[in-house]
Amino acid sequence: MRQFGILVKNELFMLFVSPATYVTTVLFHLLTASFYILILADYTDIPSEDIPMVVFFRLFWTVALFVAPLLTMRSISEERRLGTLQTLMTTPTTTTQFVLSKFFSVYALYMLLWLSTLLYPVLVSIAVPGLGQQIPLLDPATIVGGFLFLSLSGLLIISVGIFSSSITRSVMVAAIFSFTLLFFIIASGGLIEKLADNMPGRIDFLDGPAEYLRMFQHLEDFIHGILDTRPFVYYITGAGVFLALSTIIVDAKVDS
């Protein structure tokens, strides 16, 4: 356990001194701040039943598709490219500890970036004092539900990035593969539903998987205070599967 803690601290340090992390952070805030400003602008022109933070959370997928691959693409592929993976494995470190340290360090950064978006409504309230009286900028229930979903789905999203980074030496290939895999995972519920609708006759048995995998519906449930055990099982199990695969792949690469 002590060795794992040292690995996580080292990975966090490496992330915070890496220029790529700051480039990704700038991209993250450019995307999220632009979204938030546009949402507020639309809300002031045409008031909506949904508060701005609800609409903001619904755009999480854009950030996940572009930012998560950038955060994870170097995690293992860079170690393989530089030839430090075999050296690291000669220390008293297990492959599982190595993979999990990569995962938890990137996951912590991912969630830190999302938590920093709470500054947006605060800054808007300070810059435009009267706007907070016209528009509900902060709703505790929505924020708690939204961040609970982000933290839960983030387990799967970051584990997919770690897995993608474990299969190649190229950071670009890792980023592209992660982007593609995340796209299909995020869209899988809708794709299965469309497949069922477009096939001859109604295929009822596909309704269950489509609902189970529909990430956007999970988000809607969380931000409206509806909690179900199925999303917890889905994201935690999915993350476990991808991390287990990453461990197996790293083991194979070290032995080869």
Work out the number of other CB atoms within 10 angstroms of the CB of residue 37.
Answer: 12
Please tell me the distance from the alpha carbon of residue 54 to that of residue 135, in angstroms, as a whole number: 13
Contact between residue 73 and residue 161 where contact means Cβ atoms under 8 Å apart: yes
In this predicted model, what pLDDT tens digit does every residue of 49-104 receive, in sequence order?
A: 778 888 899 898 888 899 999 999 988 888 877 777 766 666 677 888 889 999 99
Residue 6 has pLDDT above 90, yes or no: no
Tokens at 179, concatenated = 């982007």
Q: How far is CA 37 from the centre of its chain?
A: 22
**Cα-based angle 11, 20, 69 (whole degrees, multiple of 5):** 80
User: What pTM did the predictor assign?
Assistant: 0.89
Which helix (DSSP H) or strand (DSSP E) does residue 249 occupy?
helix 229-255
pLDDT beyond 90 at 29:
yes
Q: What is the pLDDT of residue 135?
A: 73
167-225 residue pLDDT tens: 988 899 999 999 999 998 888 766 655 555 555 555 555 555 656 677 888 888 899 88
Residue 133: pLDDT band (50, 70, 90) is low
